[in-house]
Amino acid sequence: MDPAEAVASLALPALLPAAPIATTIVVDDADATDEQLVAMWLHGRSAHTVRAYRRDVQRFRTFVEDKPLRAVTLRDLQAFADFITGKPGTRARILAALKSLLSFASKLGALRFNVGAALKTHAGRDGLADRILAESDVARMLALTVGRDHALIRLAYAGGFRVAELVSLRWSDLADAADGTLYITVFGKGGKTRTVRVSAATGKVMRALRADAPLSGFVFAGRSGALNPSQAWRIVRAAAQRAGIEKAVSPHFLRHAHASHALERGVKVTIIRDTLGHSSIAITDRYTHARPEESSGLALAV
C-alpha cells in the first residue's frame, strides 16, 4: 500500500459521524430509573428544598405502593390529592412538587405523557399577612436576646436572609464598608449569589460577635461547625416566646417582616426584590397586597 493511502486509511474513522446522543433515559430497573429522575430533578437546589421535595415524593410513592413513575395515572394523582391533609398551602406545595417532577421527566422523554399537567391544584387562602410581625415585635425579640442568638435574629431581619443562607455564612462572606455598614454575600436559592448591605449598627453587632474568629469560621457556630436550620428555628421561636408573641414564629417570619417594613418605609419593590433574591417582581409584589397602604374601605363613613 502506498504510504499516503495508508495514512488516509488510518484517518477515515475520525471522519465518520459520531454516534447519536441519546435523548431519553433507558434503564432496565424501574426503581433505578425513578431514582435517577428524582436526583436529576433536584440537582442544584438548596439542601432544605431537596429534603422537602424528597419527603413529598416519597409520600406519594408510598401512597401508590412504589408504582413506577411511567405507570402513574391521573387517577393516582387525584386520589393522592384527596388523601393528603394539612394546611392548603402545604397540600398545594406537595402537589406542585409532583407536577414539577412529572413535567421534568416528560421533557427528558422518560415519560410518554405528562399526566401531572392535567392535575388541578388550589393554593387556598394566602396567609402571608398572618406571618408578618410588627416592628415592635421584632424590637422586643432583639431587646430580650443577647450574644450569638441576638446577632442571628438581627441579621435574619436586617438582611432578609433565608435560614439556609444564614447558617452557611462564614466570616469571609462579610466585608466592611468605609461608612461602617457591612456587605454580606450569600449563596442563595437556585444557585444564585447576591450581596446585601446592612446598617452600621448591625455591622457593629456582627464585628463584636466575631472578635478573633478566623475568616474560615462559621458566623453562627454550634458545638460542631455551623448551626443547622432546626437550631436556628428554635432560637427564633424562643425569642418570640420571650417577647410574648403567640404565633409559632420561624426565621422566615423575619424575612417577611423585612420586606413588609421596607415597603412601609418607602423602599422600591425592585430593591426589595434584589435584596431578598426573589426570582421575579411578582413574588415581592405580594407584600404590597398583604398589607396595602390604600383601600377603598378607608373612604367609607364607618
Give the residue numbers annotated as catalytic, written as ranges: 162, 189, 252, 255, 278, 287
Strand partners, 176: 182
CB 157 within 8 A of CB 181: no
How far apart are alpha carbons 211 and 193 in whole angstroms?
26
Question: How remote is the C-alpha of 194 from its chain's centroid?
Answer: 14
Residue holding cell 459521524? Answer: 17
How far apart are alpha carbons 162 and 131 in whole angstroms?
15
CB 154 within 8 A of CB 202: yes
Strand partners, 218: 170
Q: Is 26 exposed, middle or buried (0-12, 13-18, 19+ CB in 10 A)?
A: exposed
How far apart are alpha carbons 243 and 68 in whole angstroms?
50
Task: Report which DSSP code applies to 195.
Answer: E
CB 59 within 8 A of CB 83: no
How far apart are alpha carbons 69 and 34 in whole angstroms?
7
How far apart are alpha carbons 171 and 22 in whole angstroms?
45
Secondary structure tally for the chain: helices H, strands E: 13, 5
Residue holding cell 430580650? Answer: 144
| Residue-by-residue DSSP string for 63-126 | HTTT--GGG--HHHHHHHHHH--S-HHHHHHHHHHHHHHHHHHHHHTSSSS-GGGG--------
